Structures are given as C-alpha cells and as structure tokens.
Structure 1
C-alpha cells in the first residue's frame, strides 16, 4: 500500500511537470522563443494579441522596474507602444501617441530601427533614420528605451523624445517640451505644453502663457545663470545650468527613490513620488486650478472652493450654460454668438458687440501678457479688437488706459478676488439675427456709436464738420486726461490736473485712485493703524466693500515723481502669497498714497508681543516659513532682485490662519533726496541691523538673512531680543548652571541672542522656548529653529545661508547645519556692552534705553576686533511702516 501511494504521488508530480513544461513550451512558441529579457534583437515582431497573457508586454528592464508593451490605457480600443512603470502601471512614454493602432497591429524591430504598422501593413510611426545598423533594443532600469549598435552605442532613445512625462535621470533641455495628452486613455497630443527656456519653465495653452515656475511658491531661484535643462532626482526638481553644476531654480522635496514630473491632460504640471503602493503629489502648477485655461470650458466661470480646494464651475453675468457639456457658456441673449478666431465670418465693426463681464473677474492670460496699448480709451480698445479677427475679447483698465486682448482661443473666466482690480472684461459677440437689442439691454456695449453722426455728415455737411472737429477735440482731451473722467465731469480739469502724463508711458502700473476716493474710503483718514519713517497708514473701505490699508508717503520730493511711477510699476507687478499685495496708488498734486490689501490680524509685533492669545508652535513655524518664502522670492524669484533692508516683526503682517506676508518691500526710491541719502549708509531698525551696515561692506541679500535670524529668535522666545526685567524673570536664567550669565545683568535686562548662543552651547534648548507654550513644544523643534537662527546671524555674510536654503531647511528637505561659534563671538561683546549700558540706564524708563547707545570709535571698527556692529544701531533708522 505504501509503495502504491508513493507511485501515485510520483506519477502526479511527473504529470504536473509535463503539464507545466507544456505550458511553458506553448508560451515560448507563441512568442517566438523570446524570454522577456532586458533586450531584444532585430527581426522581432510584437502585437497585443501575441502577448495577451502578459498584457502586451514584450520587454522588461533588468530589475523589472519598467516594461515595454503594446498597451491600451483605460481598456479602450486604442493601442500604443509604451514604456510603463511596472509597479504602478503608469505610462511614462509612448511612441505612436498621435497614431494609435488596433490590438492586431504590429511593432517591428529590424536593422533600420522600429516601425509600427496597422492591420493592413501601412506605416503609422517609425524611428528616424539612424547612423548605423541596429544591434539591439534595450530598456534601462531608469526607463529609457534605447536602440544600440554592435558597440552598444546609442543610436536613438526615448529620453530624448519625451511625451508628457520625465523621470529620475532624464533631462528636458532648453527648447524641448512636454505635451499633454487629451485624456488618460487618449494619448493624442493635447493643447497644453511645458517649455524650457533659458530663464524659466513655462506652461502654455494655444501659445498663451498661464504659468511660470519662477512664480511658484515652492520654487526658488539660486543663481542668474542661464538654464540648460530641467531634471528630477531623489531630492526634488531642478532647473540647472553651467553643464549641470549650477542650480538656477530649485523645488526641494522629500527624499524619494522614484519620482516623475508630468504635464497632465488638465494642463496642470505635477511632480509625484511613488511610495510602493500609491502616488503622492508633491508639487503642482498652477496651485490654483482656476488658473488653468480650460478648467470650466469656454467662457465658464471658475471659483475656487476653499473648503474642498476644488474648482466650482458656473457662468459669468450675461452668459448661461450651453446645450452640451463641451459648449461651455454662451450668451444669454440669443441674438448674439461667440465667434471663432478668423473663422471666415463677417467681422465688420457694424456686426460686432461686446458682452460686459462683471467686476472682480479675471483671465489667466492677463498676468503673463502685456497690454496691446497703454493710455487709450475704451472705445479705441474695442475698435482695435473689432478690426482684428483673431481678437475674441478685451480687458480694459479704466485708470491706466491699458488694453489687453484675448486672442485665438477663449478659455475659462476666473474669479479674481480683487487680484485684477481695475480691469473689466468685454467679450466680442457677433449678431446672429436681425433682432435689434433693446436700448435698456445694459450688458451690450456697441463698439460703433458714431452711426448717427455719419448720417448727419451726409445730410448736413457743415454741421457734420463742426461735429467732427468737436469729436476730435474731445478725443484728444480724453487722451491727455485719461484717468480723470471724474474731474472732467466735476469741472476740475485744468493745466495742473493732467495727472502726470509720464505715468502712462510706464507699463505695469496698478490701479490708480483719485485722492477724493481714498479720502472718502478712509473717512478723512480717521483710523490710524500704523506710522513710521515712510509715512502713516490708515484703514479704509472701498466702494465695493474691500477693506484696504492706505499709506500716506511723506517727504516725497516733487522731482521724484517719475521714479515714484517707475517704482510703483515694479512693486505692483510683484505677486507672491507671502508678500502684501499693492492694489493701487494715488499721485495727485503733492499727495503720494499707496493702497494695500488689509491684513486682518495685524503685525507679528502685535501678535507676538502685544499680550494677546499665545501663538502656538505650529503657527510660529508657519509664520517663519511664510516669511522665509517671501524673502526668497524677493531675492531670487523677481525679475529685479529686491533687498528689503528692514525685516522686523512690524513689517511681517498676518492674515487668517497666521499666513505671513512681508510688507514695505521695494520702497527705497519713494523718499525725498534728503531721506534716501540716509539709506546709502544705513537703513533698518535697531536690533535687526546686520554688522555690514557699519563697516562699509557690500549690502547684499545676506543682510536680510541676518534680520530674519533675529526675528526667528523672537519667534522662539515670544519676546523682544532685548527684554526688560519683567520678561527676564520668567526666563529661568537661574537654571543656567548656577553661574551668572553674561546675557543678563543686575537690572534684569537680557540680550536674548547671546542667551540663545549660551544655551545652544549647553544643548539646553527648552530654556529658550516661550514659557507661555507650557511644554507644547519638543526640544528637537526648538533646537532646529535656534540653530537656523544662529546660522543666519553669523557675523560674516558669506557664512549665512541664503533664503532658498533656509526655506529648504524649514520644509525639511535640507538638513540644518551647525552654527559656527567663531562667527558668533561678537554676540558676547554685544551682551557685555548691553549689560554695562543697562546698569547706567537703571531707573531710566525711556524706551530708548532698551537699545543703549554705544560710543565705539572708528579705530575700533577698523581694527577688525571681534565686536559686533549691529549693536551700534541705537535708533530706529526707518521705523515701523
């Protein structure tokens, strides 16, 4: 019985082996004895039906990370020859994306390259002519499909012909582009392109720019070298120059072993990493999906939902949804239709009208385009569009006379939330019936209003000439006094109200306000919310209920008028989530006013030191990161580098959720010659001045880094860096080891940066944390910020990190360095002199004694002794603004 059982088991194993061998033999027979290695040789043919058990796969990379296959994404009937990331089944490249094939069509490898033919043998795609015969087709472990000659030299590879994706190790050089697919299942070339230029990475839709990497919140500029290529690696995405040795732009991300950058069918450019089970999106541009050109179809209105962070699509005023989902929005008045650009229809001015969009509506292209004309009136702007068949609408700024045109394709309209203040949109419409619009149809503005005068010229020649001359005179008057329509109506027009014509020759000016408007908005400048060296700031409410901060600039020399307009144009074109937005300005008579977004939580100075609710640690981190991002953008992200020179808590404003916004950047040219002369030697605020201000050393962006480090220490402690006795008593200085710390004195005054240095040397970081946090912070969290701050306040500017690096450290992508003690010893001298002056000043309640005056000779400065020069600043040079 035992032997019988053994025989049966042996027979079963033998039969199973035969069956298994038969299956393998049949499979190998079906695939022409090919074993799915990491390369194949010519005369090889593949089709989906041939490898149906392997989902069309005919080639693997050495470790199986990638595969090449005849694949149908989404289970559709369209098949493509693709390179696929095996673990996620994600297509990273396709050969015949614009010429899909059927499941029985074939890919052939021969000595001349790769060809793809349809069912009837017609060529649909092929590699270009090659220099020599093909020896093998290989798929590398990075995902690069390569044709090799007999010496293993590359004849052609997929990395140099990208579609919509690049992977780690792949370069996208200047002049190259990524093209979106139509959809995830239709790989045909879509309407979006990512192009690499010598200075940026740009997203475009039908040739219209809608996003630049340089304006992204997470992208920071490291140098002014020319870009050579884009790449992604384990630490992030970069634009590199100088043969890959210089980082021009950096997007630092968490370390990942596999990462891709992709231009999605929606037009969004994303960077994602694969963790082994799922994709994690790490970066997206544009950040606001409503800035994607076609997110809500043609003329659809996109509104960002802050709760779900998803777009909400509707139709703007004077439009309603079309009959199909693809139609977008169409005119509510059935007598009008939206023309196609240069479609061959009549585009005569008599058949063209303009549908008016509501206020606070914008268009993606306005931010990235320049006006067609400056200083024109609305009628002329509309006429320019009416005569151009490619123009489909305009946006017009009534205060500056700037005329923006929408050309070739109409995308979605977006809710601008005031970002395009002063711009009103007008969409071109064609008359499609004989019906005449009613006179009270307020949403139609005709581009041609001179029909009756033309008739009058025919019937009454003399009268017509008089009318014509009067019309020319009126037009010339409007050009000369373009933005003073209200003054004309009120009879205020005179030789002194020409409103600075040179302003209209400077492009990029933001909205211009009349002084009367701002006087009314601020209730005769009633509510003062700040003052300082640049002027006084008042709270105001515009007619549309927008709350603003109005700054009155003082001591403005009349000869600085042109510089004022130029500077305003520069500041007005700077847009970053961590910079206070300049909404507009007023330059009327001798008055110079700036209009900013109102920050409802006030300044960091008030929130941190004002005795209100304690700011939690995570909120302090958010403030630090937001401030660092804003500074990094000023230093590296603008077309023109801006050094702030006065970073302090008063100039860091807070909005909801403690979002930090830097104020008063780029205002150095707005002072009179007497004031600006002071800034050639010293500018800033006591306690935050970098040493180089007093040594005639070059003032660079590292000056702002020093001030940021001082602010960071105040965020840690919740106190001014120079604290009175009542604050010192709660610092537990008696726990410093029993000895008397040089950071304090018998008066109770303490110089916190020195105390922070001493606690760093003893690794006693929790002694530095704001006691009001009551332990709601870890030693590791405090240590990180203290070390960053000490690195920022190194005496030698070259040892300080740049703000791009600071952002990377705060975000966690770059490790924090150890401070250089030898470059921080100047704090000890400062601490001793501060204590000595505190003893002298004991009993003096003058607040200026908080920052005592030090009498240090010029010889001391020239000697190069280990003294810190920041303490010499005993006065507020520019003051809170």
Structure 2
C-alpha cells in the first residue's frame, strides 16, 4: 500500500553549497570519454570529482565521497547534481577509502584500478568500445559507431543497478538491486517482485516482502517472454511486453499528472521507497512496508519491535539502543561448534509468516525437536491453533510484539534454558524462532530461540 506523500526537509545551506560546488565542477568536464582516457583520483575535491557530464548538466559520473572523516569511502558513481544523490554506483570488489590511490581509464572498457592491487572494477572487456557517454536519463553507456553512424550499445549501467532504479529503467531477472550495505536485495521473478534479506556464509536470500502481478490489464502468457519491472509516472509496472502491464503498483501520485525525475530506492533499513524530484527536493511517493515492525531489521538482530514502534531485546537483559546480541553467522552443522542454548518467550510474532516455510505438526515439542535435529535450522515458530510449525533457516533478525488484546497475563516473559527442555501447556497460539551467536563458553555457542505468542 502506498503511504501518504511526505515532503522531505528543505535543503540546508551546507547542502546548497555542496550542490553549487559540484555543479560548477561538473560543468568543466566533457560529454564523452574516448579510448586512451585515464585520470587519477584527486583528493583535493572535498565531496565529488566529476569526470563526465550528461548533455543537460543534471547528471555526472565521478568519484564520490561517502561518510565523514577518516572512515569516508570512495565510490565510482553517477550523481544527480541538484540533490547530490547517487543514482548508480559501481560494485567494487572491496571498499575503498577516500584517499585511495586509484585511477579510471577507458580503452574499450571502463576500468578502475590501482598500481598495487590491480583491477578493482571494470565493465566487460570490449575491444570495440569507442566512447563512454552519460545520457540525460542517467544511463552510462559504452558505445561504438556502426556503418551509417548507427550507435551500438555494448554495455550500460541500467543493466547493472546498485540500490536505485530510475523512471524508464527496465529491471529484469538478470539484475539485482541491493541496498548500499548489501544487507537487502530486490529481485523480479516470473510473476512477482520481492525483497530479500542477504546473509554471508552461503545462506540463501530470505524473502520478506512480495508483490504479485494482479494481471488486470494483461495476463502472463507461458512462453511469452520474461517479466520485467519499470518505474512509470506514479507507479511500478510489471510487463511481459510493452503493450500493457501485467501489474501496476500505484504510488501516492498515481494518475495525478506529476512529472519529474523519479527514483525507486532500496534503502539501508530494508524498505523500498519511491521519490520524485519537484525541482527543489525529493518528495516521498511510496513506502512499500508501512509498518516499521514488519521491516526485518527494524530493531536489529534479536530485537523485539513493540506495538508502539519502540524496540527492546528478546531476552530482556539489555536495551535495544545498545544492541541486543551480535548478528549471527555461524555454522550449526560444524561438529566442533554445535552447542546451543534455548530461549522461550511469550507475546512474540513473526512478520510475513505467509512467506516462511511451514508444515503441520502435532505439538510444540515436535516443532521444537524437528528444528533441533536439523543443523541448518536457526529457529522454529509454532502456532498451536493451526498446528503449523515455521522453520527459519537463517540468522534471527527483529521480531514483532504480538497483539496484546490476545495476550495472556504471562505474555512478554522470557526464559533461558541451557538445553532442549520440553515446554509446558499453552493457553493460546504460539510461535518459535531459532538462532543466536552467544559466547557462553570458550567456543561460539548457537542459541536456539523458541518464541511463544
């Protein structure tokens, strides 16, 4: 559901100063880069070193500084100059500090490198590439000229998005949008668009939001081509062909005739938001997940999001503001590190249970036991009203406080157990969840967490 339009704060004088300085600097660079081009990163630029401009002067490719002080990082990015917002970033092999001694060159392909570590990022090797251009759509392209002056596109940034899609950019199943911190991703599938949590260590992405095609204006035809998504004027459309969308997800400005640059960004909190540029500020037009507690990392790992939107820790042993427990990334299947403890808690629920793997079982004990016997299980959620057991095969993130109208007097209490003990009789539906990295002894201990709602 689209949220109400929210106007972001008016730019500060510091913002305006940055905008003016980046715009003036960008006006001095060219609109094309040709073979033989090479430029070193210049740290005398405080925020952005422009290297290439689009014909309108609104967008620029260059070295962008992210963060402040000694911890600031360097990105190769396409910037929207009026707002100093990055619309595209190169996916580097590793983070680079702002003072990194790097250079960008073009000899058929675009290459970011340094003298010690070699190539840090590049477009595919294309000997035929003749020029690099930045279009007035913010699309960066490697091109060559064919007979008769026809332009052949050999590579384009629109096929390799970072955290943002802009209006008119096709988003296919071959691409992945990821938040800046790489913790969340957006993907398009055969009949839906979805958001996922990303984990290290080979853990598969975990879905937490899904929008399926309604097929109101056009139906998906088997064998009729792949589905792709595209930001339109006030909506996110899903298409199989350009003739008609198979789905339209409306934004707040849908059918209001509001024009201007639009961007759909997967932000670092895991929410998907759309904005349009009104000439002065970015205006929020969509917030895919309206309830903060339904965002998987809203209160951090092992946090509990309350009905009022506040955070606390599942074990009640600390304040959520200081961090509950470390985000886990261990391997329960490692025979040398397979000890665990158990935490059972009442008054807790899991957002988006309909997207989790589940199976009917006879009891809480069976649900808990099935998780214990599966070394890839981090948590189990049992509902004694439906008999469903939900398994969570990924490190625990934030959970939701259950509806207090249905809670019993003991809801909200937590209990630690050093091993798998059987649970007592329950008076209401319940949920279970698994996994925590908890240093109880010299080795890393995985905590199995049982949650009762």
User: So what's the TM-score if we normalise by structure 2?
Assistant: 0.74
Q: Which residue of 2 aligns with 1:366?
A: 353
Tell me, in whole angstroms, the C-alpha distance in 2 between the residues paired with 1:256 and 1:284. Answer: 19
Structure 1 residues 425 and 241, CA gap change in structure 2 (3 angstroms): farther
Listed one character per residue, the Cα deviations across residues 688-742 of structure 1 (whole Å, up to 9, x for unaligned) are xxxxxxxxxxxxxxxxxxxxxxxxxxxxxxxxxxxxxxxxxxxxxxxxxxxxxxx
How far off is 1:421 after superposition? 8.8
Tell me, in whole angstroms, the C-alpha distance in 1 between the residues paired with 2:241 and 2:194. Answer: 20
Aligned partner (choices 90, 104, 111) of residue 107 of structure 2: 111
Tell me, in whole angstroms, the C-alpha distance in 2 between the residues paired with 1:118 and 1:338. Answer: 34
How far off is 1:154 after superposition? 0.8
2:331–2:337 contact (8 Å) kept in structure 1: no
SS of the counterpart of 2:67?
Answer: helix
Q: Which residue of 2 aligns with 1:124?
A: 120
Q: Which residue of 2 aligns with 1:59?
A: 52
Listed one character per residue, the Cα deviations across residues 576-620 of structure 1 (whole Å, up to 9, x for unaligned) are xxxxxxxxxxxxxxxxxxxxxxxxxxxxxxxxxxxxxxxxxxxxx
Q: Which residue of 2 aligns with 1:199?
A: 191
How far off is 1:381 after superposition? 1.2
1:298–1:329 contact (8 Å) kept in structure 2: yes
Structure 1 residues 275 and 220, CA gap change in structure 2 (3 angstroms): farther
Structure 1 residues 415 and 448, CA gap change in structure 2 (3 angstroms): closer
Q: Which residue of 1 aligns with 2:232?
A: 233
More moved, 224-233 vs 281-290: 224-233
Listed one character per residue, the Cα deviations across residues 130-159 of structure 1 (whole Å, up to 9, x for unaligned) are 2x4221110000001111113331111100
Structure 1 residues 468-547: aligned runs within 5 Å: none
Q: Which residue of 1 aligns with 2:210?
A: 212
Q: Which residue of 1 aligns with 2:334?
A: 344
How far off is 1:40 after superposition? 1.5
Q: Which residue of 1 aligns with 2:293?
A: 290
Tell me, in whole angstroms, the C-alpha distance in 2 between the residues paired with 1:365 and 1:78. Answer: 35
How far off is 1:123 after superposition? 1.4
Please say if 1:161 is aligned against 2:160.
yes
Q: How many residues align?
A: 382
SS of the counterpart of 1:56?
Answer: strand
Tell me, in whole angstroms, the C-alpha distance in 1 between the residues paired with 2:243 and 2:363. Answer: 49
Structure 1 residues 274 and 380, CA gap change in structure 2 (3 angstroms): same
1:168–1:260 contact (8 Å) kept in structure 2: yes
Please say if 1:354 is aligned against 2:357.
no
How far off is 1:232 after superposition? 1.1
Structure 1 residues 278 and 285, CA gap change in structure 2 (3 angstroms): same
Structure 1 residues 475-874: aligned runs within 5 Å: none
2:299–2:320 contact (8 Å) kept in structure 1: no
Structure 1 residues 18-33: aligned runs within 5 Å: none
Please say if 1:394 is aligned against 2:380.
yes
1:220–1:250 contact (8 Å) kept in structure 2: no
Q: Which residue of 2 aligns with 1:179?
A: 178
Q: Which residue of 2 aligns with 1:638?
A: none
Q: Which residue of 1 aligns with 2:41?
A: 48
Structure 1 residues 342 and 53, CA gap change in structure 2 (3 angstroms): closer
Q: Which residue of 2 aligns with 1:302?
A: 305
2:252–2:285 contact (8 Å) kept in structure 1: yes
Q: Which residue of 2 aligns with 1:242?
A: 241
Larger Rg: 1
Decide which structure has greater strand share: 2
How far off is 1:100 after superposition? 3.7
Decide which structure has greater helix share: 1
How far off is 1:53 after superposition? 8.2
Structure 1 residues 409 and 267, CA gap change in structure 2 (3 angstroms): same
Tell me, in whole angstroms, the C-alpha distance in 1 between the residues paired with 2:167 and 2:415. Answer: 56
Tell me, in whole angstroms, the C-alpha distance in 2 between the residues paired with 1:244 and 1:156. Answer: 26
SS of the counterpart of 2:354?
Answer: helix
How far off is 1:354 after superposition? 2.9
Please say if 1:262 is aligned against 2:265.
yes
How far off is 1:35 after superposition? 5.1
Tell me, in whole angstroms, the C-alpha distance in 2 between the residues paired with 1:79 and 1:164. Answer: 16
Tell me, in whole angstroms, the C-alpha distance in 1 between the residues paired with 2:46 and 2:399. Answer: 48
How far off is 1:51 after superposition? 7.5
1:228–1:243 contact (8 Å) kept in structure 2: no
Structure 1 residues 420 and 56, CA gap change in structure 2 (3 angstroms): farther
1:319–1:329 contact (8 Å) kept in structure 2: no
Structure 1 residues 385 and 39, CA gap change in structure 2 (3 angstroms): same
1:239–1:247 contact (8 Å) kept in structure 2: yes
1:362–1:413 contact (8 Å) kept in structure 2: yes
Aligned partner (choices 62, 76, 81) of residue 76 of structure 2: 81
How far off is 1:195 after superposition? 0.8
2:294–2:351 contact (8 Å) kept in structure 1: yes
How far off is 1:231 after superposition? 0.9
Tell me, in whole angstroms, the C-alpha distance in 2 between the residues paired with 1:231 and 1:324. Answer: 38
SS of the counterpart of 1:382?
Answer: helix
Structure 1 residues 338 and 97, CA gap change in structure 2 (3 angstroms): closer
Structure 1 residues 303 and 425, CA gap change in structure 2 (3 angstroms): closer
2:303–2:313 contact (8 Å) kept in structure 1: yes
Q: Which residue of 1 aligns with 2:130?
A: 135
Structure 1 residues 234 and 124, CA gap change in structure 2 (3 angstroms): same
SS of the counterpart of 1:213?
Answer: strand
Listed one character per residue, the Cα deviations across residues 383-429 of structure 1 (whole Å, up to 9, x for unaligned) are 1111122212211111332111122211011123279999x9999xx
Tell me, in whole angstroms, the C-alpha distance in 1 between the residues paired with 2:130 and 2:247. Answer: 39
Listed one character per residue, the Cα deviations across residues 525-550 of structure 1 (whole Å, up to 9, x for unaligned) are xxxxxxxxxxxxxxxxxxxxxxxxxx
Structure 1 residues 221 and 414, CA gap change in structure 2 (3 angstroms): farther
1:106–1:116 contact (8 Å) kept in structure 2: yes
Q: Which residue of 1 aligns with 2:450?
A: none
SS of the counterpart of 2:353?
Answer: helix
Tell me, in whole angstroms, the C-alpha distance in 1 between the residues paired with 2:220 and 2:287. Answer: 25
Structure 1 residues 294 and 144, CA gap change in structure 2 (3 angstroms): same
Structure 1 residues 399 and 421, CA gap change in structure 2 (3 angstroms): farther
| Structure 1 runs (4+) greater than 6 angstroms displaced | 418-422, 424-427
RMSD, aligned α-carbons: 3.7
Tell me, in whole angstroms, the C-alpha distance in 2 between the residues paired with 1:447 and 1:345. Answer: 18
User: So what's the TM-score if we normalise by structure 1?
Assistant: 0.40
How far off is 1:121 after superposition? 6.1
